[in-house]
A and B are shown apart, each in its own frame.
Chain A
Amino acid sequence: MLTILFDGIAYGMLLFVVACGLAVTLGLMNFVNLAHGAFAMAGGYITVVAVNRLGVPFLAALPIAFLFAAVIGVVLERTLYVHVYAKTHLEQVLFTIGLVFMSVAAVDYVMGSQQQFVTLPSYLQGQINLFGIGIGRYRLLIIAVCGLLTIALQFSLANTRFGSRLRAAVDDARVARGLGINVNAVFAITFAVGSGLAGLGGALGAEILGLDPHFPLKFMIYFLIVVTVGGTSSITGPFIASLLLGIGDVAGKYYAPQFGSFIIYIIMIVVLIWRPQGLFSRAVAK
């Protein structure tokens, strides 16, 4: 029972790390990026290549995954995404779906369509017993890493100069520019960090979520649920939403496998109808 709860928390944390970048771009920059999962996939695959083929230690591969996805993110942002910020949501959706199609086909060709696994070092395998609860070591690592990231993220958004610049740029880009804030740079950095986090999440999650070329399509709906249910006005909303989703999904698959992912879809629809702005957000006048 507690093991399931623990697994669920690890799963939820993972979802959060991947999805928080989406929460930032969608919530703060008002950009619907359905290709977000592609960055997670990029992180996952670079980890697989680094660890399995090049023999890089697993823990060292994580920052590589972060950087790799962040670089892809910033290149895409500078070359393509900047042109789409001002378009309608529908156009943004179609644009990013196009990117997803391209990435799926390209990865399928380069890496093959089979599922990939990362060989974990021995100290991350197996379980430790804590007060009679079996806790997977790998999942413990995930919770630790993701927990730290969450705190760092919340802190940097709320308490640093960059965080306030970002919020200012989002509130009113023109006025922010007038105050001497380099809005383009702020957006680019934000986007890079968001993509990087997705890449890191993909690297950590390759083992748990399963990594194949259809990853962006398969998990797109999960990330969107996190963001839409959690609301986009803060980081805590998506955090709570992803924990609930993670625990709910793991518990649901364990206790009521015949319903599958059915329940979470229904919950998403109900929440969206009931509170279109998300469960944990104040009504935003935008």
Chain B
Amino acid sequence: MSMDKPIVAQARGYLLSRARWSPFEIIFWIVAFASIFFLQSKHLILTEIAILGLFALSLDLILGYAGIVSLGHAAFFGFGAYVAGLLAKHGIIKEPVLAMLASGVAAMALGFVTSFLVLRGSDLTRLMVTLGVALVLREIANRLDITGGADGLQGIVMEPVLGHFAFDIFGKTAYVYSLVTLFILFLVARRIVNSPFGLSLRSVKGNPLRASAIGINVNIRLVAVYTIAAGYAGIAGALLTQATQFASLSVFDFERSADVMLILIIGGTGYLYGGLIGSVLFKLVQDYLANVNPQYWQFWLGLVLVMMIMFGRVYGAVMATIIYVACLALKLSFMQSIIITIIAVAVLGLMRPQILQITSRITERAKAALDGVKAKFRRSA
């Protein structure tokens, strides 16, 4: 027993050191909350970003920490959105915060039930099953009378938040409400992933067989984290309904599940901020592109995805941007842009081995330079 104590203390010290707040995190949240006062005209899009960030955070919990791939995470988002809409429309729970929590619990229940579907099978099976679940829910919402079918859920009127703060036309209440919810849920998620439970999740992600060999009950943990993540997604959906006072079939769309996956690819998985940073970037770019050409912006989104998978996150994004900017600078019509882009992608694909050599050399140099700066900094300090 005497041998145990130092190990336990060591483990506790390790966990605590992982959980410490870094300056970067503090700055991140200060900036986020400062935006309430400084970016007043942008509250509508900021609300969308906060909601999307929460949704991405939810996917990060299962993908980044437990390694469960999903192409149907919109199932829980949409479920929460419809539950919140129905609660408000029929006056069952009038107060938004309570209604949001109720939607989260409902989504958790759905997550718990469907979690048993993702326990088995390969990644491919999981992708298919989650996609199927989202499609089934979409079909249900489409068919039922109570959900308004293809017209969506209309005529939702929201009561003031906590009985005091009414939703205003500029979206200030909605933004503060979404941001505070995001922050609180983020703190909870942070606590979860830094707990021993979170650590065991990582081991499950790393190697499920070995995790079970050292006494971790893999299935219980997967069910638990899937349920929690479903609750998060449900709350994100509920926020969307409450902020827009509308819920439509699009909450279940395949594109929504694909977008949130893309956001995590942009921001990176497994450190919680990936989803938040990714959704800021994603939404800003999407907003910009949709303003430039509203109907066809998905073309550029697709280009970013393709390049990122081919050349890695950073270089892929840079190359996609270069192609796009080149098309803009040459004042090409969309038709010409399509042709140029396709040719550019094909050529880049053909030259991929050479390009990868160059990019890896750049990465090495950048790393060396960064290390040099760090060493200098340490010496002077």
Q: Mark B283-303, 1 if CB is under 8 A from A, else 0.
A: 000000000000111110111
Interface flags for A119-154 (1: CB within 8 Å of B; 0: not) read 000000000000000000000000000000000000
B69 within 8 A of A: yes
Query: In the complex the two chains form, is A105's CB within 8 Å of B128's CB?
Result: no
Q: Does B132 lie within 8 Å of A101, measured CB to CB? A: no
CB-nearest residue of chain A to B356: A83
B304 touches A273 (CB 8 A): no
Known: A75-B346, A80-B306. A109 touches B133 (CB 8 A): no
Given A102-B302, A105-B296, A272 and B262 touching (CB < 8 A)?
A: no
CB distance from A105 to the nearest CB of B (A): 3
Cβ contact within 8 Å between B265 and A94: yes
* A110/B139 in contact, CB under 8 A: no
Q: Is the CB of B302 within 8 A of A224?
A: no
Q: Which residues of A contact B66 (CB under 8 A)?
A: none
B121:A269 contact, CB within 8 angstroms: no
Q: Let me know if A91 and B309 touch, CB within 8 A.
A: yes
Within 8 A of B (CB), among A64-113: 75, 78-80, 83-84, 87-91, 93-95, 97-106, 108-110, 113
Alpha-carbon separation in the docked complex, A97 to B136 (Å)? 21
Docked Cα-Cα span, A104 to B127, in Å, equals 22
Given contacts A94-B305, A101-B305, contact A273 B298 (CB under 8 A): no
B129 & A266 in contact (Cβ 8 Å cutoff): no
- In the complex, whether A262 has a CB less than 8 A from a CB of chain B is yes
Inter-chain contact B143/A265, CB cutoff 8 Å: no
Interface with B: A42-50, A174-182, A253-261, which one? Answer: A253-261
| B128, B135, B295, B301 — most chain A CB neighbours (10 Å) | B128
Is the C-beta of B310 less than 8 angstroms from some C-beta in chain A?
Answer: yes
Q: A residues near B, CB below 8 A? A: 32, 75, 78-80, 83-84, 87-91, 93-95, 97-106, 108-110, 113, 217, 221, 224, 228, 258-262, 265-266, 268-269, 272-273, 276
| Contact of A265 with B303 in the complex, beta carbons under 8 Å | no
Assuming A106-B299, A262-B139, is B124 touching A89 (CB within 8 A)?
A: yes
Main secondary structure of the interface of B (DSSP, over half): helix
Q: Given A80-B345, A98-B301, A110-B335, list of 9 further CB < 8 A pairs?
A: A89-B127, A91-B309, A94-B309, A105-B297, A224-B131, A260-B142, A262-B139, A266-B136, A272-B121
Contact of B143 among A110, A224, A259 (CB under 8 A): A259
> What separation, in Å, do the CA atoms of A101 and B305 have in the docked complex?
9
With A260-B139, A265-B132 already in contact, the answer to whether A80 and B346 are too (CB < 8 A) is: yes
**CB within 8 A of B120: which of A91, A93, A102, A276?**
A276
A101 touches which of B125, B135, B299 (Cβ 8 Å): B299
Q: List the A residue with the shortest CB-CB distance to B310.
A: A83
B132, A268: Cβ atoms closer than 8 Å: yes
A262 contacts B302, C-beta separation under 8 Å: no
What are 23 residue pairs bridging A and B, where the CB atoms are less than 8 Å apart in the complex? A32-B124, A79-B350, A80-B345, A80-B346, A89-B122, A94-B262, A98-B303, A98-B306, A98-B309, A101-B302, A102-B298, A102-B302, A106-B296, A106-B342, A109-B296, A109-B299, A109-B335, A262-B143, A265-B135, A266-B136, A269-B129, A269-B132, A276-B120
Interface centre among B120, B131, B297, B346 (most CB of A within 10 A): B131
Query: CA separation between A261 and B342, bound complex, in Å?
Result: 35
Interface contact A98-B117, CB-CB below 8 Å? no
| Residues of chain B within 8 A of A75, CB atoms compared | 346
CB neighbours of B296 from chain A (8 A): 105-106, 108-109
Contact (Cβ within 8 A) B123 A90 = yes
Show the binding face of B for A, using Cβ within 8 Å: 69, 71, 117, 120-125, 127-129, 131-133, 135-136, 139-140, 142-143, 254-255, 258, 261-262, 265, 295-299, 301-306, 308-310, 334-335, 338, 341-342, 345-347, 349-350, 352
The 8 closest A-B CB pairs, nearest first, are: A98-B305, A101-B302, A105-B299, A102-B302, A79-B349, A276-B121, A98-B306, A95-B309
Residue from B136, B265, B295, B309 in contact with A84 in the complex, judged by beta carbons closer than 8 Å: B309
**Is A228 within 8 A of B136, CB to CB?**
no
Question: How far is B69's CA from A98's CA once the two chains are assembled, in angstroms?
Answer: 17
Given A79-B349, A84-B309, A109-B338, are A273 and B136 neighbors across the interface (CB < 8 Å)? no
A105 and chain B: residue at smallest CB distance: B299
Of the candidates A97, A103, A262, A269, which one forms a contact with B133 in the assembled complex, judged by CB atoms under 8 Å apart? A269
Task: Let me know if A95 and B139 touch, CB within 8 A.
Answer: no
Task: Tell me, rounded to whole Å, the shortest Cβ–Cβ distance linking A229 to chain B.
Answer: 10
The minimal Cβ–Cβ distance linking A95 to chain B, given in whole angstroms, is: 4
